[in-house]
């Protein structure tokens, strides 16, 4: 994985990009206007931070098996994966297999995952709640 502190582009790049067998994760966008010159029109220049990684590393982060070191951005990727799974289970128990008890367990699980952001040791160490079922 490669962390790029300052990347510049003439267009705002997508926050997540899957290109070939690599993943780009971008955040902390800022823009500035570059004044026109005799040869160039006025244009916007975007700056941002970026992780560039192979798919295997990205999926290790999603599966919580990445060896570290962790930071807030990497934990956010991991949590998004956990949230997505929890959302699917909430929908399952809301519509496909109605079961309010299980739906509530998944809602509470998702809230527990969210609460880990304020736990001691975060983002280096995180103890996620156990998944229902």
pTM, entire model: 0.85
Which token pair is 95? 């519509």
Give the pLDDT band (50/70/90) at residue 133.
Answer: confident
In this prediction, residue 110 carries a pLDDT of 97
Work out the mean pLDDT of the chain and round it to a whole number.
Answer: 96
Model pLDDT for residues 45-94, shown as the tens digit of each residue: 999 999 999 999 999 999 999 998 999 999 999 999 999 999 999 999 99
How is the chain split into domains, by residue range?
A: 1-68, 78-118
H helices present in the chain, as ranges: 55-62, 72-91, 100-115
> With contact defined as beta carbons under 8 Å apart, do 31 and 66 qualify?
no
Torsion of CA 103, 108, 113, 115, to 10 degrees: 160
Is the pLDDT reported for residue 113 higher than 90?
yes
């Amino acid at each position: 994985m490669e962390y790029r502190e300052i990347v510049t582009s003439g267009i705002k790049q997508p926050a997540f990009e899957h290109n070939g067998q690599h993943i780009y994760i971008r955040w902390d966008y800022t823009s500035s206007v570059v004044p026109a010159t005799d040869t160039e029109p006025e244009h916007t220049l975007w700056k941002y931070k970026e992780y560039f990684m192979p798919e295997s590393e990205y999926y290790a982060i999603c599966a919580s098996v990445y060896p570290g070191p962790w930071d807030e951005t990497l934990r956010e990727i991991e949590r998004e994966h956990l949230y997505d799974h929890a959302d699917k289970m909430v929908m399952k128990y809301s519509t496909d297999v109605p079961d309010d008890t299980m739906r509530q367990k998944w809602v509470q699980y998702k809230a527990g995952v969210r609460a880990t952001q304020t736990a001691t040791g975060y983002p280096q160490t995180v103890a996620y709640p156990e998944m229902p079922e």
